[in-house]
Structure 1
Amino acid sequence: MFGHAPEIPVFPSPLTAPLRLAPLAPMGLALTLIARRLIARHPGLIARLGDYGDARFAIDPTDLPLTLLMHPHPTHTRITLHRRPPEADARIAGPLAGLLGLVHGAYDGDALFFSRDLVIEGDTSAALALRNAIDDAELDLGAEIAGLSGPLRAVLSPLIAAAGRVTGVALTRVEGGMA
């Protein structure tokens, strides 16, 4: 019925130390700008959320010392970072590699959920609407971020792809199926 959940890489704890000390506001602003660019390039994302277009989603990478609070909007999407999971309509939690793998089509969300690698709390209908919107958009966050780098794109794109191969983390869209 559901695919087997793969072994998901976990972000090494020593590498998270800088995130414990880093100021959250500048990182949140950068993520907000990236999210707004994504929505401008994929306007169907917000429309696909339907009744949940104004929901607040806590995205909680459990192997990082921060949580993203995403409030989607056609023109005013906002992402803020928090040290603890903030109040939200839906919370989606799992290892960063699992969350990125869901976005990039590398992992079967049902398999991750039933294996408890992915936890959904709050309004599960809102979380499902977000998942469906992201699936339909076929996002490639690596390509989007490389696209922001202007002339450095030619260098950054292969570096992102190589980092994905070395770490086993889906940093770009996976063509042809899920793990």
Structure 2
Amino acid sequence: MPPTLPRLPRALGLAARPLPLPPLNLLLGRLTRRLSDAHPAMLRRLGDHAARRFLIDPLDLPWVLLLQPQDAAMTAHPRARPPAHDARIAGTLSAFLAMMHGAEDGDALFFSRDLTVEGDTAAVLALRNAMDDAELDLTEELAALSGPFARPLRRVLAGAERATGLHLHRIGGLP
């Protein structure tokens, strides 16, 4: 039996509730543009699926994320009013992060139902393969956006990773 994924501490999920969406969307937009610029092969790997709208539904957070790869856009939306989408991927934040950082196999997460897919499954598979090939590292991508705060941000995220067990960096990368 595979190890159990860590859970987002309930206090963090509750703390995210009052966050205003405009600043979160600003950060998500900058991060998505950074990913698109730093990993152009990801968009090429998606092919026609780059035009799809992916609803990423972290079940332990109060909002859903709409990813539009072709536009290098990601926005947060209230869970009660999800936007139109072609595919929905739902699961805990820890499952998404583990898949993104290579700590868990995406297929295994789908078969164990840690992640579920609805809608255009071919597009979701293409997205997962593009992310795997890009070897994304959320800590390093956020550090690249933070300028002179990169070093302290890396330390904060490493501490958060140790405290929560969430995978916040690429396996084999910098902690």
Per the alignment, in what secondary structure is the counterpart of residue 51 of structure 2?
coil
Counterpart-to-counterpart distance in 1, 2:9 and 2:45? 35
Q: CA deviation at 1:173?
A: 0.2
Quick check: 1:144 aligned with 2:144?
no
Q: Is this contact kept in 1: 2:7–2:166, CA < 8 A?
A: no
- Residue 127 of structure 1: aligned partner: 124
Moved over 6 A (4+): none
Per the alignment, in what secondary structure is the counterpart of residue 106 of structure 1?
coil
- Residue 59 of structure 1: aligned partner: 56
Once the two structures are superposed, residues 7-32 of structure 1 have per-residue CA deviations (whole angstroms, 9 ceiling, x without a partner) of 11222333323322222122112101
- Structure 2 counterparts to residues 1-179 of structure 1, below 5 A: 4-73=1-70, 76-84=71-79, 85-175=82-172
Q: CA deviation at 1:112?
A: 1.2
With over 3 angstroms needed to count, the CA separation of the structure-2 counterparts of 1:149 and 1:56, relative to structure 1, is same
Once the two structures are superposed, residues 138-166 of structure 1 have per-residue CA deviations (whole angstroms, 9 ceiling, x without a partner) of 01011110121212212221221232122
Per the alignment, in what secondary structure is the counterpart of residue 21 of structure 1?
coil
Q: Is this contact kept in 2: 1:55–1:72, CA < 8 A?
A: yes
With over 3 angstroms needed to count, the CA separation of the structure-2 counterparts of 1:157 and 1:131, relative to structure 1, is same
Pairs aligned (count): 171
Once the two structures are superposed, residues 109-156 of structure 1 have per-residue CA deviations (whole angstroms, 9 ceiling, x without a partner) of 111111111101100000000000000000101111012121221222
Code of the aligned partner of 1:87: A
Counterpart-to-counterpart distance in 1, 2:151 and 2:77? 33
The gaps in structure 1 that reach 5 residues or longer are none
Per the alignment, in what secondary structure is the counterpart of residue 53 of structure 1?
helix
Q: Is this contact kept in 2: 1:5–1:115, CA < 8 A?
A: no
Q: Is this contact kept in 2: 1:5–1:112, CA < 8 A?
A: no
User: TM-score scaled by structure 2?
Assistant: 0.91
Counterpart-to-counterpart distance in 2, 1:154 and 1:128? 34
Counterpart-to-counterpart distance in 2, 1:43 and 1:88? 23
Per the alignment, in what secondary structure is the counterpart of residue 17 of structure 2?
helix
